[in-house]
Amino acid sequence: MSNPLSELSIDERIRLVEDLWDSIAEDQRELPLPETHKRELDARLRAFELDGELGDDADTVIERIRKAL
């Protein structure tokens, strides 16, 4: 039995995945957020409010990761 998705080009399959992901993102409020995740988010927000540290910008983090590889 052949997979009908394999009949699509790679570009078509990528577009399909993107469309699927976008449709999930539109409905994300319907997804339950586990209580443990809520507590973790609250703790991180409190820590940020206490120290105000924004952390490193993306370019700095990416450079650090590349050096570590």
Answer yes or no: is 55 within a domain.
Answer: yes
pLDDT of residue 52: 84
Q: Is 46 left (phi over 0), alpha (psi -120 to 50) or beta?
A: alpha
Count of structural domains, the chain: 1
Answer yes or no: is 25 within a domain.
Answer: yes
Q: What is the pLDDT along the chain (69 residues), one digit of tens a residue?
A: 678 999 999 999 999 999 999 998 888 888 888 999 999 999 999 999 999 888 899 999 999 999 999
Answer yes or no: is 15 within a domain.
Answer: yes
8 touches 16 (CB < 8 A): yes
pLDDT of residue 1: 64
Answer yes or no: is 2 within a domain.
Answer: no
Q: Answer yes or no: pTM beyond 0.85.
A: no
Q: How far apart are CA 44 and CA 38, in angstroms?
A: 10
Range of the domain at 32: 7-68
Angstrom CA distances, 44 to 30, 37, 47, stand at 23, 11, 5
